[in-house]
């Protein structure tokens, strides 16, 4: 299963495609700010808006230590570190994404506050009670065993720490058409309902604090593209298959089959 997920996301040349696009858009590639990557490094519905939802759901103090599960190429981790003045460690199954996350973090001079390593959300390579908070954006759709996922999150998060999940969840009946952005085939797509997430989290001892359904934002995100496109986009991250994945996700959002939901828990 893990190898199919890695094959779906992993591809060569991510950073060079992004840098070429930034050069074409006349950015000084020796002086890049984290925000210029947002079109490509925020791989979830709403882009930067999604990371804003997560950051504002976290109740952090300066210097706190956050784990980002399935950190992709690091957009959410860098945004959360900058906005909340915390340190963030990301783990992700896909080696090419972790390499790109490290490279971009070096380029923007944030390596002292943000780091990444290859690892699985269902076998987190950290000790118990390591983090003040754990976040996860658009990753659970690749994970069948939500009970194990939440028990691992609870284990590495300190008592009373926050756990914030912003995932694509099933909100209606109807089949999904593949490829989707998280999966080329149904074989490793595990889109679950909010209730299934909450049950798994409560079985891991977490307390549900809030539920925010961001479907309205998602409909706008998919149907009203920005009048000025960003210099980089998810095509630079995922390659030429992205438009078809985007269109399939757009149809599923428009028909009410799936939606992005944010769940906030206390450990």
Ligand X SMILES: C[S@@+](CC[C@H](N)C(=O)[O-])C[C@H]1O[C@@H](n2cnc3c(N)ncnc32)[C@H](O)[C@@H]1O
- Applying CB under 6 A, which of residues 15, 93, 114, 258 lies at the interface with ligand X? 93
Within 111-150, the residues that bind ligand X by CB under 6 A are 120-122, 137-139, 142-143
Which is nearer to ligand X, 39 or 76 (by Cβ)? 76
Token pair, residue 94, equals 């896909």
CB of 181 to ligand X, least distance (A): 6
Are 245 and 35 within 8 A, CB to CB? no
Which is nearer to ligand X, 34 or 70 (by Cβ)? 70
Tell whether residue 9 is a contact of ligand X (CB under 6 A): yes
Are 216 and 259 within 8 A, CB to CB? no
User: Distance of CA 21 to CAs 47, 57, 237, Å?
Assistant: 18, 33, 11
Q: Distance (Å, rounded) from C-alpha 104 to C-alpha 97?
A: 10
Q: Distance (Å, rounded) from C-alpha 247 to C-alpha 251?
A: 6
Name the residue whose CB lies closest to ligand X.
Answer: 72
Q: Distance (Å, rounded) from C-alpha 125 to C-alpha 190?
A: 23
CB of 91 to ligand X, least distance (A): 6
- Applying CB under 6 A, which of residues 53, 97, 116, 222 lies at the interface with ligand X? 97
Which is nearer to ligand X, 66 or 139 (by Cβ)? 139
Which is nearer to ligand X, 63 or 186 (by Cβ)? 186
- Build a one-symbol-per-residue string for 175-214: x at contacts with ligand X by CB under 6 A, - elsewhere: ------xx--------------------------------
User: Distance of CA 117 to CAs 3, 70, 229, Å?
Assistant: 17, 10, 31
CB of 216 to ligand X, least distance (A): 20
- CA geometry: angle 136, 140, 142, nearest 5 deg: 130
CB of 86 to ligand X, least distance (A): 17
- Quick one: which of 104, 97, 75 has its CA closest to 166? 75
Tell whether residue 34 is a contact of ligand X (CB under 6 A): no
List 210's β-bridge partners, or say none. 264
Which is nearer to ligand X, 150 or 182 (by Cβ)? 182
- Quick one: which of 74, 116, 119 has its CA closest to 93? 119
- Applying CB under 6 A, which of residues 82, 87, 94, 134 lies at the interface with ligand X? 94
Among 14-22, 41-49, 155-163, 206-214, the segment contacting ligand X (CB under 6 A): 41-49
Q: Is the dihedral angle over the CA atoms 4, 91, 79, 259 positive or is it negative? A: positive
Within 42-71, the residues that bind ligand X by CB under 6 A are 42-44, 69-71
CB of 126 to ligand X, least distance (A): 13
Token pair, residue 150, equals 């939440």
Counts for the chain of helices (H) and strands (E), in that order: 11, 7
User: By the criterion CB under 6 A, which residues form the site for ligand X?
Assistant: 5, 9, 42-44, 69-72, 75-76, 91-94, 97, 120-122, 137-139, 142-143, 181-182
């Amino acid at each position: 299963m893990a190898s199919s997920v890695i094959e779906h996301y992993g591809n060569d040349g991510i950073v060079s495609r992004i840098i070429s696009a930034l050069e074409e858009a006349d950015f000084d590639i020796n002086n890049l700010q984290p925000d210029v990557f947002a079109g490509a490094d925020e791989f979830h519905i709403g882009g930067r808006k999604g990371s804003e939802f997560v950051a504002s759901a976290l109740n952090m103090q300066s210097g706190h230590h956050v784990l980002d599960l399935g950190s992709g190429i690091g957009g959410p981790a860098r945004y959360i570190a900058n906005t909340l003045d915390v340190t963030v460690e990301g783990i992700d199954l896909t080696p090419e994404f972790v390499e790109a996350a490290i490279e971009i973090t070096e380029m923007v001079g944030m390596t002292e506050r943000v780091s990444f390593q290859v690892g699985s959300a269902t076998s987190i390579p950290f000790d118990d009670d390591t983090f003040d908070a754990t976040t996860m954006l658009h990753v659970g759709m690749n994970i069948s065993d939500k009970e194990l996922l939440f028990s691992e999150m609870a284990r590495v998060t300190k008592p009373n720490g926050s756990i914030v999940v912003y995932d694509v969840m099933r909100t209606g009946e109807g089949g999904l058409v593949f490829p989707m952005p998280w999966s080329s085939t149904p074989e490793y797509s595990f889109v679950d309902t909010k209730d299934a997430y909450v049950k798994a989290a409560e079985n891991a001892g977490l307390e549900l604090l809030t539920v925010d359904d961001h479907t309205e934002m998602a409909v706008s995100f998919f149907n009203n593209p920005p009048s000025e496109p960003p210099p980089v986009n998810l095509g630079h991250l995922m390659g030429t298959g992205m438009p078809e994945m985007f269109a399939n996700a757009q149809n599923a959002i428009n028909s009410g089959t799936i939606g992005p939901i944010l769940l906030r828990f206390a450990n």
